[in-house]
Structure 1
Amino acid sequence: MLYLVGLGLHDEKDVTVRGKEAIEQSSRVYLEAYTSILGVGKERLEEFYGKEIIVADRDMVETDSDAILKDADKVDVAFLVVGDPFGATTHADLLLRADDLSVPYVVIHNASVMNAVGALGLALYNYGQTVSIPFFTDSWRPDSWLERVRENARLGLHTLCLLDIKVKEQSEENLARGRKIYEPPRYMSVPTAISQLLSLLPPDLTSSSYSPDAPVPQPDVLDPHTTLAISASRVGHPSQTFVSGTLAELATLDEERFGGPLHSFVIVGRTFHALERDFARRWAVDPQRWDEVSKKVYAVRD
């Protein structure tokens, strides 16, 4: 049996009872280690579960899945995923391969950022499409995700933005030369993500400043001075950190203000209402500005 086990968001103790039982009875245990991270290392997991853990990088999962599934029709194998197996990432490809090999499987769910983001106080049923923001390079600045943000905005919906992480990545030169030399891990911060977003907007938006007398922009016009957002760092950890404000305000803060990785943020949609406004005001960079923009642009009324 293949067990696809969600580990939750914080540490080794966030696993469910069913998940822990599946791990303890498995002959081999793999930890998917490239789409997200826990707040503890694999040594803590091994001590708590009483099992040696094999770290499965992107290459193993995507190109050598047969090694993971080997003999899984005869013995139990556990594949561990931070968060939920079908949350911020999906491992449907692994299960399809299991089907091809006639390997039975069980999925054991857990909390992920997709539902834990409810801690921001925004109604989960008012979220639209989730987007992932990748690191830009000098020659690669993908922007297809921005249209999905605008589509959500036109419908009045909130957008959860998940930020890129680079774990066990190779430089272009080392990749071209076939050298197995890996770059240090990198985790995108909220200011970096918002700065990249702003770089894709028309210059007249990013150069303007907020004025209470300015016309209200259309919902899909991401004016950085009148678009509200809430950052969410290390969601589910005791050190989780939330900061609310306009895109322009969040972009200018020091990274230390947001706490350690992993970072994400939510662009607030026009379905915003008074309870959500008041809940998120507690983390506002400027509570007065937060209320002004909420009232004029988002039409929030008490």
Structure 2
Amino acid sequence: MFYLIGIGLYDEKDITVKGLEIVKRVDRVYLEYYTSIICKNKEELENFYGKSLIIADREMVEQNSDIILKDADVEDVALLVVGDPFAATTHTDLILRARNKNIQTKIIHNASIFNAVGCTGLQLYNFGETVSIPYWTDKWKPDSFVKKIEFNLSSDLHTLCLLDIQVKEPTAESLTKKVKTYLPPRFMSVKEATTQLLELVYSQICRNLEEETLCVGLARIGADDQQIVACSLIEMTSVDLGPPLHSLVIAASNLHPIEQEYIKQFRL
């Protein structure tokens, strides 16, 4: 059996009882650590779970999934995923690969930013399509996600923006070499994300977004020190929410009265 287990948003205790029971009894346990991160290190997770973990990086999950699925037709193998297993399309593909090999699968769900964003007071059924905001470089400034933000705004819907995570990212120089070297991990902040968005506003690439559009910055949701700040887009470019992970919400123009009342507590 191949188990895909969500371990929640913040620390080792966010795993469900059902998930923990499975982890304790399976033959091998992998920890996927690139689509998102948890605010505890591998050793802390191992101590709580009572099980050794094998780190599954991007290359293993996307290109060498056979390593993870090896013998899963005769053994029990689990892959732990931060948040909920189906928050990333990568894991949907992995389930399909397993089923194509006639390996039985079981999903254990958990909380993710997709439902935990309700802690802002913005109602979940008022959200449109989610977007991902990537880091820009001097030569590469993708803006394809803008169309989705504009559509959501024109439909009076909120937009959840997932901010870039770069873990084990190879350097440009090493891509043509046999041995890869990697850049230090980077986690986009709300300050960096809104600075990029503001550039799109000023260049008129994003016409529905304005300096005064209400944004909500979120950091370390599920932690004791989680942070939520609501302010204008231009104000958010100066907000420091501390360590990762950060997410951003671009709010619809018209808030429900309950949304308006609830979000007051987070106003800058």
TM-score normalized by the length of structure 1: 0.86
Q: Deviations along 1:185-233, whole A, 9 cap, x unmatched?
A: 1000101001111112235899xxxxxxxxxxxxx621112x0011111
Matched, 1:221 2:204: no
Mapping of 1:55-94 within 5 angstroms? 55-88=55-88, 90-94=90-94
Find the aligned partners of 2:193 and 2:61 in 1 and give their Cα distance.
27
Partner of 1:237: 223
Partner of 2:186: 186
Partner of 1:274: 257
**Percent identity over the alignment?**
51
Q: Deviations along 1:70-92, whole A, 9 cap, x unmatched?
A: 11011100100000001255411
Mapping of 1:146-185 within 5 angstroms? 146-185=146-185
Find the aligned partners of 1:201 and 1:75 in 2 and give their Cα distance.
53
Residues 110 and 91 (structure 1), Cα distance of their counterparts in 2 relative to 1, 3 Å cut: same
Alignment size in residue pairs: 268
Partner of 1:197: 197
Indicate if the aligned counterparts of 1:27 and 1:77 stay in contact, CA closer than 8 A: yes
Partner of 1:212: none
Indicate if the aligned counterparts of 2:154 and 2:208 stay in contact, CA closer than 8 A: no
Q: Report the Cα offset of residue 178 of structure 1.
A: 3.1
Indicate if the aligned counterparts of 2:171 and 2:180 stay in contact, CA closer than 8 A: no
**What root-mean-square deviation, in Å, do the aligned CA atoms of Structure 1 and Structure 2 show?**
1.5
Indicate if the aligned counterparts of 2:214 and 2:231 stay in contact, CA closer than 8 A: yes
Q: Report the Cα offset of residue 252 of structure 1.
A: 2.4
Q: Deviations along 1:49-90, whole A, 9 cap, x unmatched?
A: 111100000000111111100110111001000000012554
Indicate if the aligned counterparts of 1:240 and 1:259 stay in contact, CA closer than 8 A: no
Q: One-letter code of the match for 2:162?
A: L
Runs ≥4 residues deviating over 3 A:
202-206
Find the aligned partners of 2:204 and 2:134 in 1 and give their Cα distance.
24
SS in 2 for 1:200: helix
Find the aligned partners of 2:159 and 2:138 in 1 and give their Cα distance.
26
Partner of 1:101: 101
Partner of 1:249: 235
The runs of 5 or more residues in structure 2 that have no matched partner are: none
The runs of 5 or more residues in structure 1 that have no matched partner are: 207-219, 286-302
Point out the structure with max Rg over C-alpha: 1
TM-score normalized by the length of structure 2: 0.96
Indicate if the aligned counterparts of 1:88 and 1:114 stay in contact, CA closer than 8 A: no
Q: One-letter code of the match for 2:248?
A: F
Find the aligned partners of 1:263 and 1:21 in 2 and give their Cα distance.
30
